Amino acid sequence: MSLPRSSPAEQGVDARGIDAFLAALEPLPEVETHSLMVVKNGHVVAERWWRPYGPDRPHLLYSLSKSFTSTALGFAVAEGLVDVDATVLSYFPEWDGLVTDERSRRIRVRDVAAMASGHAGETIDEALAKGDGDMVLGMLLLPPDYEPGSVFAYNQPCTNALSAIIRRVTDGTLTDFLATRLFQPLGIDTYGWWVDRNGRELGYSGLHVTTESIAELGQLYLDQGRDLLPATWVAEATRAHVLTDQGNIDSSQGYGFQFWRSRHGYRGDGAFGQLMIVLPEADAVVALTGQSPDMQAVMDQLWIHLLPALTADDGPAGPWPAEWPELPGPVDAGARRDEWPDLTEPFATPPTATFEHDRASATRRVHTVRITPTELTLDDGRPVVAGWGDTSGPVIPYYAWDGGRIRVDVIFVEGPHRLRLTLDPATNTFAEDWQTEPLGPTPLRYLRMPTTST
């Protein structure tokens, strides 16, 4: 732990507001919190993990990874390696004869950093096809619908272009570039970034870090970059460069360089509730991970309960509970809880049954499930984990018998997903149901941090 600890009262925080925030989240049907860290005046004043999650456990960030990629761009700009006003094409001169559309040729680094390439929407599938697997080339070969820099469209190839530019100018990986400039100076030693089949980080997703590492990045930006990032970069990256209209209030406040503006402050966020909220007005950072598709509901409650507590003149004395609560079963807090009774026992002693079955899911992943007295294995073509009685692994199953069938919740504790299985040994069949299904054709192995990382 590298951030100093303090009580809420010592930092002028009303601890009752923290409790009220958590109480307001608990009954929401599409919100399940895995961790919370609140930082005020540079001190952690509240931290909480819901078992089986914990402080040393990395979590898949999904698109919150984008803010780390933006930070890498900030270092590259500060070191004179990248010019945000240069065109993307200028970093790939070998494509000069291939990219003929004038708008494509005018896309600047700052345009892709602000999700303003000029394309009207998401182009990831088209870009991969057009570029024969190279997303950046494919994006440049797709003529923009509008002048670059003029309109916002959340578009993964934009962030991928930043990652590719950094690799090009450093002749190394995005992870290695950040390791010496960000991770090591901030004391972040648990991290891993999944790569594509060519060994390249996606940039827009795939990073795993701990909750405190999320808070550390937020505090770095709150501190105007300290002695690591120029304050001018922090200001440029976090201001609104383009207007947004995303159907909810906190995603319609404008977009920076891979940061969202919010009603209060700014944030990095990732699918299913991975949040880093920086609140300069309160000198505070809030880091959350979870399995929460309704992130707007989380932010609504944060503004109602937590923000006033962070801006209170005097925080009342009183302890913040140190014990970690159990998740409300391995199920959500909504109506479905009654459908999955008693799924609260970790799978340390597996059921005395043998089950094996293969099936292709709707997303064309093939799952092999084996349950024996000693192991439970999931396989999507490559082994994920064996020996599941060891609950320190990246997957923790909970189970219950139900009328001759076995109901199992498989919790991927290094990410925001849970796979629910109903197994029937008598008929050798099973049904699967993701509580929140992974985005895209994500192999199960991508739901854990790469083991090659430090």
Tell which phi-psi region holds residue 267, choosing left (phi > 0), alpha (psi between -120 and 50) or beta.
beta
Average the pLDDT over 67-93 and give the result.
Answer: 98
- How confident is the model at residue 411, as a pLDDT? 83
100-127 confidence digits (pLDDT tens):
999 999 999 999 999 999 999 999 999 9
**Are 369 and 421 within 8 A, CB to CB?**
yes
DSSP single-letter state for residue 217: H
Q: Which residues pair with 289 in a beta bridge?
A: 35
Domain boundaries, the chain: 336-447
The residue type at 36: L
- How confident is the model at residue 140, as a pLDDT? 98
pTM, two decimals, is 0.87
- pLDDT of 346 > 50? The answer is no
Residue bearing the bigger pLDDT, 249 or 432: 249
Place of tokens 């709150």: 222
- pLDDT of 5 > 60? The answer is yes
- How confident is the model at residue 339, as a pLDDT? 37
Torsion angle of alpha carbons 197, 199, 204, 209, nearest 10°?
Answer: 120
- pLDDT of 289 > 90? The answer is yes
274-285 confidence digits (pLDDT tens):
999 999 999 999
- How confident is the model at residue 428, as a pLDDT? 67
| C-alpha–C-alpha distance, residues 356 and 333, integer Å | 31
CA-based angle 121:124:129, to the nearest 5? 125
For the residues of 229-288, what is the DSSP string, one character each? S-HHHHHHHHS--B----SSGGGSS-B-SS-EE-SSSEEEEETTTEEEEEEGGGTEEEEE
User: Which residues 6+ apart lie within 8 Å of 355 measured at CB?
Assistant: 369, 370, 371, 406, 423, 425, 428, 430
- pLDDT of 450 > 90? The answer is no
